[in-house]
Amino acid sequence: MELAAGGFSGEQFREACAELQQPALAEADWQLLVETLGISIYRLLDQKTGLYEYKVFGVLEDCSPTLLADVYMDLDYRKQWDQYVKELYEQECNGQTVVYWEVKYPFPMSNRDYVYLRQRRDLDVEGRKIHVVLAQSTSVPQLVERSGVIRVKQYKQSLAIESDGKKGSKVFMYYFDNPGGQIPSWLINWAAKNGVPNFLKDIARACQNYRKKT
């Protein structure tokens, strides 16, 4: 789906909300990859790239929806808790706010960087308060590709969060990332399989420390 003028469409936000209520796994061959710590991760093979799209469902206990959304949006704080961030900031380009993000890759691989649009909406869906964040790669002339860093041109993420009815958050996340370069697809898929659960653990820990800060 193409980006709507000025960002994302209302339909894209509604689709993310709907997955919290009823996961959309039946229309395509989504396969359960792993279940860990109350989190279920499904994957679907993208035939064009040989890489997988991911859908994540689960609960992060003792991390409220508003806190989780705030931590996710706080780029300055992410530099403190995400060890893979080399550079991360927002910049106004052509009347839109875009995010620039450089990610550290282990030697001998080149670092990757991303330029993407990101929007958050806090929605009321039949009395349910749902925080939704959408992100998708874009291209702007102000942020040119850098020597020695590979630009990721296919990146898409959706995040929907609501209360689990207790102190935690019920979460849905969609993720697709094509890092490009000469990395074998099996290695990219292996890294994603391990990286997604680790990211969720890291952000849950970051929520605890964020609460101590404020």
What pLDDT does residue 169 have? 94
What pLDDT does residue 13 have? 94
Report, as an integer, the average pLDDT of 21-26: 85
What pLDDT does residue 144 have? 94
Nearest 5°: the CA angle 138, 144, 147 is 125
In order of 16, 73, 189, the CA distances from 39 in angstroms are 17, 21, 18
The tens digit of pLDDT for each residue in 39-65 reads 899 999 888 888 889 999 999 888 999
Token digits for 178?
A: 């094509």
Report, as an integer, the average pLDDT of 149-155: 94
In this model, does residue 3 exceed pLDDT 70?
Answer: no
The tens digit of pLDDT for each residue in 70-124 reads 999 999 999 999 999 999 999 998 888 999 999 998 888 899 999 999 999 999 9
Predicted TM-score (pTM) of the model is 0.89
Report, as an integer, the average pLDDT of 142-160: 94
What pLDDT does residue 155 have? 94
